[in-house]
Structure 1
Amino acid sequence: MKTAILIVDMVRDFTDPKGLVFYPENRNILPQIKEVLDLCRKNGCLTVYLQHFNREGKIDQKAASMRPNCIEGTFGVEIDPMLEVRPEDYIIRKRRYSGFFGTDLDLVLRENEIKNLIIVGTKTNCCIRATVTDAFYYNYEPYVVRECVATNSETVNEVHLNDIDKYLGHVIDKKNLEELFLQGRL
């Protein structure tokens, strides 16, 4: 079975102290995500970056109800440079929480014969959960790496990780991920 890593919204508005909606937790998980990304690349996984963005000066009722962030054409939509995007990687722009909604993510995954999804990034209670939920509905096998997701409350983070693990997929740690690769299960 083929595996992809989905890196959810690790863009500078969320990860950089100068970003419009910076959370320190996102900066803290970046080295963990980089480590998992390197492990995934070593094991032949497809890399997909989900990039939240809002169009400058265009109508988007959902975006209008939130603090401005991830505005197209600004540094805020750039993938954090610590993650080193490569030419073979996919970058899929999204306007809603789920990486599947209104994007070609499902098509990209199916064309690459992907079944397993390793999911990392921000925010556990919004974009991670929505993406995992849709992955479950599309019959993918989602694996969320505990050390590689965050939100602005540890309690909220844990509640959503518990729900994901119970109902939608698997919550694993980096050691479990390495073991799954060694066992040939991913």
Structure 2
Amino acid sequence: MSKQDALLIIDYTNDFVDDQGALTCGKPGQQIAQKIIELADQTLKDDGWVILPTDVHKPNDLFHPETKLFPSHNVRNTWGREFYGPLKQWYELHQDDEHVWMMDKTRYSSFAGTSLDIDLRARDIRSLHLTGVCTDICVLHTAVDAYNLNYDITVHESAVAALTTEGQEWALNHFKSVIGASVVK
């Protein structure tokens, strides 16, 4: 990666990854932790950017469409919204680095209703490396928006996880065959 690359670690929180999480990928999500840390370390070493778009909600928000679809999750200031496992320690170690930042998002896509596109363009970032969860929900919607905004997209297969095997396979195929993303092991 280079200074024109950004690694996005999407929604890697306790609610989405831990066994006790409200909407967890479980073991598949837990098994990608080390790969995410390796990619984050390499990105910083290469003078790239590590961005952590992180879902945030209010409990039982009547005006948010996900309230009808999923149990309450990633509520601000709760254990469920904390980064999962080794990412929590990694972020605590690197949070003051100007090349690392966490950002709130309230929709599936990291671009929807956020300043992400403006922030990326201000830093002349052209290539996005996607990791995190869920492959077929938030990673997918972020990738589609990145495609529509003309970013080069790489999805790290060994650093994304979905709620189901079928969802994982479908999304990985969609990245390749529909939006022309590079899917790497």
Shorter chain as denominator, the TM-score bin is 0.7 to 0.9
- Is 1:108–2:119 an aligned residue pair? yes
Output the CA distance in 1 between the equivalents of 2:71 and 2:60. 15
Q: Which secondary structure does the structure 2 equivalent of 1:21 belong to?
A: coil
- Displacement of 1:156 in angstroms is 2.0
- Is 1:80–2:91 an aligned residue pair? no
Instruction: Decide which of 71, 76, 82 is 2:75's aligned counterpart.
Output: 71
- Displacement of 1:81 in angstroms is 4.5
Output the CA distance in 2 between the equivalents of 1:48 and 1:163. 23
Q: In structure 2, do the counterparts of structure 1 residues 157 and 140 end up closer, same or farther at CA, with 3 Å as the change threshold? A: same
Contact 1:54 1:63 in 2 (8 A): no
Q: Unmatched 5+ residue regions in structure 1?
A: 174-186
Q: In structure 2, do the counterparts of structure 1 residues 71 and 141 end up closer, same or farther at CA, with 3 Å as the change threshold? A: same
TM-score normalised to the size of structure 2? 0.87
- The corresponding residue for 1:93 is 104
- Displacement of 1:132 in angstroms is 0.3
CA distances 1:137-165 after superposition (whole Å, capped 9, x unpaired)? 11110100010111122222112111111
- Is 1:158–2:169 an aligned residue pair? yes
- The corresponding residue for 1:10 is 12
TM-score normalised to the size of structure 1? 0.87
Size of the aligned set, in residue pairs, is 173
RMSD: 1.5
Q: Unmatched 5+ residue regions in structure 2?
A: none
Q: In structure 2, do the counterparts of structure 1 residues 154 and 56 end up closer, same or farther at CA, with 3 Å as the change threshold? A: closer
Output the CA distance in 1 between the equivalents of 2:143 and 2:58. 25
Q: Percent of pairs identical after alignment? A: 26
